[in-house]
Amino acid sequence: MKYVLGLDIGTTSSKAILFQRDGTVAAENEQPYPILHPNNGWAEQSPTQIEDSTIEAVRQVTQSINRTELIGIGLSTAMHSLICINKNGQALSNAIIWADSRSSDESSILNRKHPNIYLSTGTPLHPMSPLAKLVWMKNNDVKPYHEADYFVSVKEYLLYRWFGEKIVDYSMAAATGLFNIHDLKWDQQALVQAGIEEQRLFEPVSPFTKITKMNPNIADKMGISNHTPLVIGGSDGPLANLGIGAINPGETAITIGTSGAIRQFSDQPLLDEKQEVFSYSFTDNLWITGGPTNNGGIVMKWVQDLLSGDGKQYSVDDLNQLAGKVSPGAEQLLFLPYLNGERAPFWDANAKGSYIGLQPRHQKEHLIRASMEGVIFSIYHIGHALERLGNQHDVIYASGGFARSSLWLQILADTFGKPVKIPASHQSSAWGAAWVGLMAIEGYKLEDIKQSIPMKQEIEPNVNHHEVYQKQFTIYKELYDKLKDTFNQLN
């Protein structure tokens, strides 16, 4: 038997998934690591912890196979991380991740003075962007900024340490805000603002780039041959689309884990004058356009923690059961889910979460349902921005932790008024990474992945519920603009 390994390095854990060629999962392992908050609004991770967890996840799944049975590895990584490293591959800083908001002032100034950077890079000018983080480092005279030989993402950090290669795939490069998505080169205007030279960044390459000769010590720890080919892959966004089968026009992927996103592939960059969405390069002829939300499953974790206590602990199933007792619309209760600020479509780190319309009749089950609906409305709001650019949502593909909730999936189908397809496996980014590996190593074709994704039963929208949600959303979409000044005053 032959296997391909999909390695998905995410925000809270590294997942190693061992697949057969047909997409059947043979083994999987997940190794967590914490997010560090040394100051208010900061979000960092230890590069060493990420590396150790990733190696251990691979070791766990390769124990059951012979080294010669592993065809190769495909790599998926979360976007927007920034690490300062020296030429020996040693980290001089923690990884500053997408959730970090310390550079909100810098991103606002960039947006005001240099809006054309977005038109070149496709990355909204927001604190998530490594560009804004570098400007913050420059403005605050941060020591690692001056001492670093290179500025890299988590993916580049690992590849440099494991292979000695100074490369980055197009989609990871695009997520930095420093990469020109039209000519697939580092953008000079962005580099000037960051105060760095191109030589301090790695070379952008195709996601199908294959590398071998891993450091033998690392390979031994992983339990693999150091000649096993690793295909550089992409970021978790486009690979989730690929792994879920949303690759054609009108096919929309919605992923909700800790955070969330809605995305579509296109054959050209789709840039938005309002800068409400991103457009990242994936290959030299494919781009991924969409928008992320900061507030996905993390909202339900907050609700769970809020309601639990005094000897009562609510499980996720409990929350779903309670919310299921309430009719769509939560009896005219709305929830703005911006607990952690918001990215698309507003890109406002100062946005706040809010319940709108509370009345004495509303109980905890209404709060739960309104929270679930609010997360979906946030995704739907971004979907409207995509429609403005000419994209249609003919079929929805759903993945991530939220896809385990039949109620949440029904809310999604009812809100969009479209059928929702759900893959049997929740590991869409890992399978997308593995498939890119098979494309590079064995010549598989992009479109053939659809035949290798077992699907569950399709969720059909309820027309009556769709009408309720359309009325609710008409109110919801006006609320942010009405409350924006209030959010800023509360910041």
Q: Across residues 386-391, what is the average pLDDT?
A: 94
- With cut-offs at 50, 70 and 90, classify the pLDDT of residue 349: confident
Structure tokens at 172: 């990871």
Q: Tell me the three-class secondary structure of 17-36, residue by residue.
A: EEEECCCCEEEEEEEECCCE
CA–CA gap between residue 14 and residue 19 (Å, rounded): 16
Question: Cα 324 to chain center, whole Å?
Answer: 28
Q: Across residues 83-96, what is the average pLDDT?
A: 99
* Closest alpha carbon to 402 in 372, 359, 364: 372
- Measuring CA to CA, how many Å separate 113 from each of 132, 174, 193, 211, 272? 13, 21, 11, 40, 18
Q: Does position 400 have pLDDT exceeding 90, yes or no?
A: no
CA–CA gap between residue 279 and residue 335 (Å, rounded): 28
Per-residue DSSP letter, 94: P
Structure tokens at 254: 């919605």
- With cut-offs at 50, 70 and 90, classify the pLDDT of residue 118: very high
Cis peptide before 207 (omega within 30 of 0): no
Whole-number pLDDT of residue 170: 99
Whole-number pLDDT of residue 160: 99
Question: Cα 180 to chain center, whole Å?
Answer: 20
> Phi first, then psi: what are they for 390, rounded to 5°?
100, 0
Q: Does position 310 have pLDDT exceeding 90, yes or no?
A: no
Per-residue DSSP letter, 312: B
Q: Report CA torsion sign: 191, 197, 201, 203.
A: positive
Q: What domains can be seen in the chain, in order of their start residue?
A: 3-238 (3.30.420.40), 246-422+461-491 (3.30.420.40)
Angle between helices 406-416 and 364-388 (to 10 degrees): 40
Q: Across residues 88-112, what is the average pLDDT?
A: 96
- Measuring CA to CA, how many Å separate 241 from each of 24, 50, 314? 18, 24, 32
* Closest alpha carbon to 236 in 210, 272, 261, 205: 261
Q: Does position 121 have pLDDT exceeding 90, yes or no?
A: yes
> Phi first, then psi: what are they for 17, rounded to 5°?
-120, 120
- In the numeric block, the tokens 């009812």 are attached to 414
Write the CB contacts of 309 (distance below 8 Å, at least 6 apart in sequence): none
Q: Does position 424 have pLDDT exceeding 90, yes or no?
A: no
Q: Are 286 and 264 in contact (CB under 8 A)?
A: no
pLDDT tens for 152-197 read 999 999 999 999 999 999 999 999 999 999 999 999 999 999 999 9
SS3 444: coil
pLDDT tens for 231-282 read 999 999 999 999 999 999 999 999 998 889 999 999 999 999 899 999 999 9
Q: Does position 425 have pLDDT exceeding 90, yes or no?
A: no
Averaged pLDDT of the chain:
96
